[in-house]
Structure 1
Amino acid sequence: MIYTVTFNPSLDYIVKLPTLELGSVNRTAKEELYPGGKGINVSIVLRNLGVESTALGFIAGFTGTEIQRLLDACGCRNDFIQVQEGFSRINVKIKAEQESEINGQGPRLSSQNLQDLFSKLENLSDGDGLVLAGSIPNTLPADIYEKILEHLQGRNIHAVVDATGELLRNVLKYRPFLIKPNNHELGELFGQHLTTDEAIISHAQKLQQMGARNVLVSMAGDGAILVDEGGGIHKRLPPQGHVVNSVGAGDSMVAGFLAGYLSSQNYETAFQTGLAAGSASAFQEWLASGDDIRALLKTM
């Protein structure tokens, strides 16, 4: 079983309008409402690819109830912790001449809420996967990823970490199965601007020396590079298509990689499936379906 953790899930309210006039009443041309959060995105795309997962995290209030309802409606298994105070955040994404976002704060989490999460993590067993993705709410310890991986040491858990900066650097000592920085985030870890494939590969290998088993670097329109734990280097341009929405593309890549690896135990297959999944979601209004991903994979 794969478990994903989303510390601060959201309802993503996406509005489209021809122009946005500040200080005036604006009327939308189209509206959509989706469950949001990096771990949740991974769980949804895994489900679309026929891989069962359980979405963990914290929800609160009427918005939390709606997040859970939307996941139930799409057949995505979840086991959220109910927070008593506040409500899950609403993120407003405005698509006009330019894209703008207003992200909510979310509920305040208590030490008991955190203990409840650790209790749920006790259900993980040998060979299970755990995806930790996204930022940490300011109500939680900044080293929460480290605490979770330390807690699970010695249990053969395949940890996947999609985070940035020190949050990522500090978990490398726990030998995560997969990390997925983009090329800019990879460069920032070393205080450099990486402009060539050779430089990206070299710095991905440095992260392996620091503990990461597999390093998947996403590069938007330039595709992706995987440096696998066997020393293999995989590089591909993305399939052709029109980019509609980049939100969730990286999460989809993680889900595709995991689905591809589980079905084949082969890193090239995992890499191709991840790239197809990330691209397919970028070509959609929201997250790609399994059919979208499989159709794109056939073109690669």
Structure 2
Amino acid sequence: MIYTVTLNPSIDYVVETDKLKIGEVNRANKEELYPGGKGINVSLMLNELQAENTALGFLGGFIGEYIENTLASKGVNTEFIKLEEGFSRINLKIKNEVETEINGKGPHISEEKLQLLYKKIEKLKDEDILVLCGSIPNSLSNTLYQDIISMVAQKNVKVIVDATSNLLLNTLKYNPFLIKPNIHELEEIFDTKIDCIDNTIFYATKLKDMGAENVLISIGKDGALLIDSKGKIYLSNAPKGDVINTVGSGDSMVAGFISGYLKTKDYKEALKLGASCGSATAFSSGIGEKKLIDILKNEIEIKEICKINM
């Protein structure tokens, strides 16, 4: 079974306006609601690919009820822990000439509720897959992901981590099966500017040397880079299309990679499906649909490239 963990779920409220006027009343031309959070996005794409999975995390208030009901309507299994106080986030995304975001703070997570999540994690079995991704509430420690991984370290559980900064780095000593920073997060981790594929390979290799089994880097219009467990380096292109929404694109790539690997046990094929899913979501208003994924997959080319020396 695949388990996704979203510690800070949200409703993403997307509003389009002609022009945002600060200090005045603005009217929306278009508005949409989506259940949000990186792990939830992974679950939704896995569901689109008919890969059974269960979404874990914390939900609070009427917003939490909306998130859970929406996921249930789409056929996603959920085992969220309900919070008696506070409510899950509303993230406001305003689109006009530029995109502006205001993300909610999120509820306080008590030690009692955290222990309930730990009990669910401890029940994972050999061959299960655990996906840890996204931000965490301010009330929780930035060692949380490594604490969770330590609970399954003695089991044959494949762990995927898609997080930023220390949330990601703290997990590397447990040799996660896959990590997936994007190019900007890679720059942030190493406090540098990365302006070419050779530099991307160099710093991705550093992450692999620090403990990650496979390193997948999403690089936007330039596609994606994978350094696999055997040290082979693959580069995918990005298909042509109009980018409508980048939210959830990287999460869709993670889901596609997982599904592709489980079906084929081939990293090259996993990258191809991952790149297809990421692009499908980028070209859609929500999570990309299977029909579009299948079309885009025919446009994805994967090439193996030589390791560089720097």
- Give the TM-score, by structure 1 length: 0.98
In structure 1, the gaps of 5 or more residues are none
CA RMSD between the two structures: 1.0
Partner of 2:98: 98
Partner of 2:236: 236
CA distance in 1, matches of 2:156, 2:105: 34
Partner of 2:140: 140
Map 1:195-214 → 2, pairs under 5 A? 195-214=195-214
Partner of 1:75: 75
* Cα distance per residue 1:63-119 (max 9 Å; x no partner): 110000000111111110001101111111111222111111121110001000011
CA distance in 2, matches of 1:188, 1:94: 25
Q: Which amino acid aligns with 2:25?
A: V
CA distance in 2, matches of 1:60, 1:185: 29
How far did residue 184 of structure 1 move? 2.4
How far did residue 201 of structure 1 move? 1.2
Q: Is the 8 A contact 2:107 2:137 kept in 1?
A: no
Partner of 1:64: 64
CA distance in 2, matches of 1:62, 1:50: 29
CA distance in 2, matches of 1:95, 1:192: 30
Q: Which amino acid aligns with 1:270?
A: A
Partner of 1:42: 42
How many correspondences in the alignment? 300
Partner of 2:21: 21
Q: Which amino acid aligns with 1:188?
A: E
How far did residue 125 of structure 1 move? 0.6
How far did residue 192 of structure 1 move? 2.1
SS of residue matched to 1:201: helix
CA distance in 1, matches of 2:175, 2:213: 6
How far did residue 187 of structure 1 move? 2.7
* Cα distance per residue 1:49-76 (max 9 Å; x no partner): 1101100000011111000000011111
SS of residue matched to 2:77: coil
* Cα distance per residue 1:159-189 (max 9 Å; x no partner): 0000111221111000000001112222332
In structure 2, the gaps of 5 or more residues are 301-310
CA distance in 2, matches of 1:118, 1:208: 27
How far did residue 211 of structure 1 move? 0.7
Alignment partner of 1:264 is 2:264:
yes
Partner of 1:215: 215
CA distance in 2, matches of 1:7, 1:110: 12
CA distance in 1, matches of 2:156, 2:187: 30
Partner of 2:155: 155
Q: Is the 8 A contact 2:121 2:151 kept in 1?
A: no
CA distance in 2, matches of 1:166, 1:298: 37
Alignment partner of 1:130 is 2:120:
no
How far did residue 256 of structure 1 move? 0.6
CA distance in 2, matches of 1:222, 1:270: 18
CA distance in 2, matches of 1:199, 1:92: 35
Alignment partner of 1:184 is 2:184:
yes
How far did residue 278 of structure 1 move? 0.5
Partner of 2:4: 4
Name the stretch that deviates more: 199-208 or 152-161: 199-208
Partner of 2:109: 109
CA distance in 1, matches of 2:26, 2:206: 50
Q: Percent identity?
A: 51
SS of residue matched to 2:198: helix
- Give the TM-score, by structure 2 length: 0.95
